[in-house]
Structure 1
């Protein structure tokens, strides 16, 4: 897979070079007929570009969602939440990355439409990833352009200022689309090879089928408190039809993107965290994360965190008044997660499946497994993914991590397990209130106006400039850009 990414990048460079060199010819016609330039982009190259862009755009976040989720704090350039404003950078870039990816995948579907049956597999992968992008958008910003999005071209309707759809409408539509895809996959894969652009599963359609149904589980559980009937029927349908709707159940099936590991194509956290062989001392592990891991005697602590300079694990406060002295007196992000140029960007971990099933069993859903068994399976998968041996895992499950028949036990352990999948952990927090010890920056520029981490992301500034009428409707109830109206599925009280 690493070599495939390198090959793709080389091919993209050749295509770019051909276009640029062709631009030196004397006429526009010469440019368009340059024999060295690519006239058609293979569908697998489009897929490669989208997957790469997803990994680099979202996998590189450390202190944003990582701080919102309660994992990571800035220790050198302290975070006072001043960056949570409309901008076309940072979170705005991720907004554009989502819509860019959606547009690229729409083009892939358009160019293969006339040969849809012959291109069934790559079209299915494209549609699954589109739904993943839609879920990312709505869970990040809540109401977003959806039904009128991607229709700027004349033949699509010339809609350049799309309306914002309610999250309440987006979720059922995404779940329906994933259900349709799941049913198509249940009838069998197509004849085509997805190609070298599949950097995640290398064309293994059975694993894509499992990711599709696992994504359905995730989204259904997210809305279990606000659309209980849809959540229950979706989860029970999947859990009770494993041959038709298989899910991710082993770490070998994890939806992870790995990287070439050679300069400059390093894993994003490694790129951010290292200059040559020197560690960049910007990020520490938060006090609430370290404190929880220590209290629980959780063996995963040695993977998610490094020891401080005195040989102890020590977290730091979010938005402290001053930097720690010295910086090395704080635990940094563990080498497994930051000191690996190959590394990985996680989109779905197998343990998630069983945390979800454990919670579903607690809700009384018929899922074919008890909450205790599902919880213990989830913990073992997370430990295995972190290279924790069976003896330490058994000790944890017999000790502080022992099943206690509460949803809180599921959520606390899931929070630990989701480390590096920070966006998903932030969503878990917003839905469940776990970790209950989470708090916003102590020296926030907003003072005491808000007692919680952000509920959402700020819309990009270009939306204020070019789609303001539709945006203003979406902004109803929003306060200070990222607070106010909570996510549709966020039913917590007492947060503001």
Structure 2
């Protein structure tokens, strides 16, 4: 009897011991499931770091816009995209580090039944649209409808124009979904701290930018989209700029500081292309963009190996580790509205008014004064009525100046308007200036058949192949 009783107790203990509390098996320091908010924050940081970077490995847009010239190694100013596989770095960052994290953030937030879920999903949708728009504006046709699928290693490339139309539709949906209340927590949102009013302005402003990209190729969609954006709330003041506030200590510093200060290198100076225009207009932003050399603003020869001591250095303001990294500003929005008005769109003002607003908000963004603004706008060479050229040249020139620290938009301004006139490096012709980036080398190996179809569709994988919206 005693024997049976001991056996019964043993069985009971075994049964009880099988009831495992899984909480004890979860590593709180190294979780197996990353919170959706964490993935969103990481994706946002990666997107802003890429667009603000000054590294020749992944962001040469300031060079292509001819704001900066190089010193010892001028390869990128001579349009060498292959040695450093720059296109591959842009591609990998956007697909792997931005879009894939945003996809994971969406799935995890839904599974978590997160608070303010609709607002968070709308923000994610907007960020995805932004990332895909950069991919299209950089390469042309890219994987889209079949992208980010682990079970499909050879996604088809979608037509760039079709992608743009789809992105605008998605962006419209995201804007509609943005409700009152909060989005992500302030600690999770390094851009707007959860302020949905500002997120809505940013989304509408991206809608306006994308609309004007289409103005010469899909006039009806461009106009309807631009007018809808203008009828809503936009980024019209610098306090609402779409930017990430970097911090004063690594690893959360502005990537420009990493390239210009932490690296200990001196690879860039002001480009003569840019300086010549600024000097000709006595532009008050020179003091914020560059340092003087013997009391003058001097540009290095674009496309050449300049001595660092021969031209104006990049300003100390640009080298601040905590400089805000803006990628969509009030100044850009004003110039977009000026362009829309010049095209005859109903956007609530005239091209002259918005043109002046673009200049004003740009000068204020960098720390200029109202007195400087008034004096600058009073110059015949700056005032809209008397500035040189047609409306395209007037707007493009001032927008290019204002986009100084957003090289992608500076380069794109030239691609859209063929203004201003860029300098040609020795040994090159104007036709050699890039209008897109080469597809990554890895795509030829991993997705060769689909890549070949895309190359045929866009007219060749050349740096000078024009994108679908670049028809001037």
1:377 aligns with 2:357: yes
Contact 1:121/1:194 (8 A) holds in 2: no
Q: 1:460 to 1:385 in 2, by over 3 A?
A: same
| TM-score, normalising length: structure 2 | 0.88
Q: Map of 1:45-84 to 2, 5 A cutoff?
A: 45-61=38-54, 64-79=60-75, 81=78, 83-84=80-81
1:283 aligns with 2:247: no
Cα distance in 2 for residues equivalent to 1:357 and 1:192: 28
Contact 1:46/1:104 (8 A) holds in 2: yes
Q: Map of 1:238-387 to 2, 5 A cutoff?
A: 238-239=229-230, 241=231, 245-275=232-262, 280-308=265-293, 310-320=294-304, 322-324=305-307, 327-337=308-318, 339-387=319-367
Cα distance in 2 for residues equivalent to 1:258 and 1:192: 18
Counterpart residue number, 1:165: 158
Counterpart residue number, 1:14: none
Cα distance in 1 for residues equivalent to 2:334 and 2:54: 26
Contact 1:318/1:442 (8 A) holds in 2: no
**Structure 2 residues not aligned, in runs of 5+:** 1-21
Cα distance in 1 for residues equivalent to 2:224 and 2:443: 37
CA offsets, 1:456-495, max 9 Å, x none? 1121111011101110112226557412x31111113xxx
Contact 1:361/1:367 (8 A) holds in 2: yes
Cα distance in 2 for residues equivalent to 1:30 and 1:357: 55
| TM-score, normalising length: structure 1 | 0.83
Cα distance in 1 for residues equivalent to 2:25 and 2:358: 55
Contact 2:168/2:210 (8 A) holds in 1: yes
Cα distance in 2 for residues equivalent to 1:189 and 1:341: 34
Counterpart residue number, 1:37: 30
Counterpart residue number, 1:85: 82
In the alignment of these two chains, the number of paired residues is: 439
Match of 2:243, SS?
strand
1:401 aligns with 2:382: yes
Contact 1:46/1:197 (8 A) holds in 2: no
1:226 equivalent among 194, 211, 217: 217
1:469 equivalent among 424, 449, 456: 449
Cα distance in 1 for residues equivalent to 2:342 and 2:250: 47
CA offsets, 1:43-65, max 9 Å, x none? 22111111111222231136611
**Which has the larger Rg?**
2
Report deviation, 1:414.
0.5
Q: 1:35 to 1:181 in 2, by over 3 A?
A: closer
Q: Map of 1:118-157 to 2, 5 A cutoff?
A: 118-152=116-150
Report deviation, 1:454.
0.8
Contact 1:439/1:453 (8 A) holds in 2: no
1:110 equivalent among 107, 112, 131: 107
Report deviation, 1:369.
0.6
CA offsets, 1:92-150, max 9 Å, x none? 12211111211111111112335378411221111111000000100001110011101
Cα distance in 2 for residues equivalent to 1:285 and 1:86: 24
Cα distance in 2 for residues equivalent to 1:259 and 1:299: 25
CA offsets, 1:9-37, max 9 Å, x none? xxxxxxxxxxxxxxxxxxxx999744543
Report deviation, 1:291.
0.2
Question: What CA RMSD, in Å, does the superposition of the two structures yield over aligned residues?
Answer: 2.3
Cα distance in 2 for residues equivalent to 1:66 and 1:213: 26
Match of 2:123, SS?
helix
Contact 1:287/1:317 (8 A) holds in 2: yes
Report deviation, 1:323.
3.1
Contact 1:86/1:459 (8 A) holds in 2: no
Counterpart residue number, 1:18: none
Cα distance in 2 for residues equivalent to 1:489 and 1:232: 15
Cα distance in 1 for residues equivalent to 2:310 and 2:146: 51
Report deviation, 1:195.
4.5
Report deviation, 1:346.
1.5
Report deviation, 1:304.
1.1
Q: Map of 1:160-239 to 2, 5 A cutoff?
A: 160-185=153-178, 188-189=179-180, 193-239=184-230
Match of 1:112, SS?
helix
Cα distance in 1 for residues equivalent to 2:23 and 2:208: 52
